[in-house]
Every structure is written in C-alpha cells, then in structure tokens.
A and B are shown apart, each in its own frame.
Chain A
C-alpha cells in the first residue's frame, strides 16, 4: 500500500531529552512537511523540504531539527531547547512543493514530555 507512515503513534519522554519522530513515505513525493498541532489549535509549520538534501524553516522551527538524506524519509528531532514540546506532530508529503498538489498526512505522533 502506498502512503505515509509516522511512528510511533504515542511517545513519552522526560524533560531535557532529545527525541526523534519518524516519517516515511513511499509515494515518491518530492516535498515533505512537519506540522505541530496543539489542542484546539490549527497546524503550524515547523520545517519543510522541497527536495532531497534540502529543507527550510517554517514558522516555528526553534528547538527542532530535521534531515532529508533520502527522498522517502524526513525525521524530526525535538531537542531539549524546545520549551513546550508536548503536542501532536503531523508529517505530510506532496508531489511537489508548489502548493497546487494535494498533501497526504500520516497518522500523527502524540508526544508527551513529563
């Protein structure tokens, strides 16, 4: 089945620890995105990648890092510098980054920092 997979679905971490969220797609899409969603809030763009080996900061990149070494993978690291990391994280991909192609989303990872 083609699609976009995020893992794990739920993640618990202690304060001060870095944590990496996985996002894999087998849709052969060039563009990939990470969004953060807080309860009752919209989706805020953390990082995006238009093509492999390239990525740009979104609106709330502070405290996060990404890599795009392979076309199908776009992992997100939540570092200890992120002041309030508890949130629902959504990864998405689209054929191109032009904004006129549909975005497909993973099931999301719910991160809780205690």
Chain B
C-alpha cells in the first residue's frame, strides 16, 4: 500500500536559521497539502500543490512538489519564533485524507 513518510520528526533551530521538512511517498500523489499547527492549536491550511515540479512561495515559506509527484518539501528561510509549531503534509490515500506524522519545529531566540 501507499507509504508516506514525513521527516524529520523534530527540528530545533536557532532563530535566523533555515528549516525544511519533507514528505516522501512510495507512490504518485494526486496532490499534497501543507498545514501548520501551533502549540495548543488546531491545524491551519497553508497551501496545496497539484502539478508536477510545482513551486509556490508565501513570504519566507517555499513549497515544492517533485517532478514524479512522490515528494514534497516545505522550506522556511530565516526562521522566526512565530514559525514554532508542527507542520503536516496531507494527502489522499484511496479516498481517505491522511496526514503525515508531522515535523515539530522549535526556534531558539
């Protein structure tokens, strides 16, 4: 069956450093979404990627969808303390909408 791994599970960075989380699938994905969950909060939609090789930017955040549509990444440039939280990818698995395991980002001021 389809396997999607999100890595790393945790990332601790100094404020100003970059951060990247990856979702890697064993099969082709129709699309992928990214969400952010602040500590104690609920997930909030960030973006959706649909096309092969797609790259989208939101200020310091860059989202990529691989050419084979099996991999996706979220990159944050020059992290700030407001970036703290857990970042999840979300994908369609046979009609079920499944979240990746998440990457928890902590930022040291």
Contacts and interface: CB of A to CB of B under 8 A. Distances in A.
Contacts of B90: 99, 103
A98 B93 CA distance: 10
Interface of B: 6, 30-31, 33, 35, 42-45, 48, 50, 88, 90-92, 95-102, 104
B102 A102 contact: no
Contacts of A43: 43, 88, 99, 102
B48 A103 contact: no
A100 B50 contact: yes
Given A99-B91, A102-B48, A107 B97 contact: no
A56 interface: yes
A99 B98 CA distance: 9
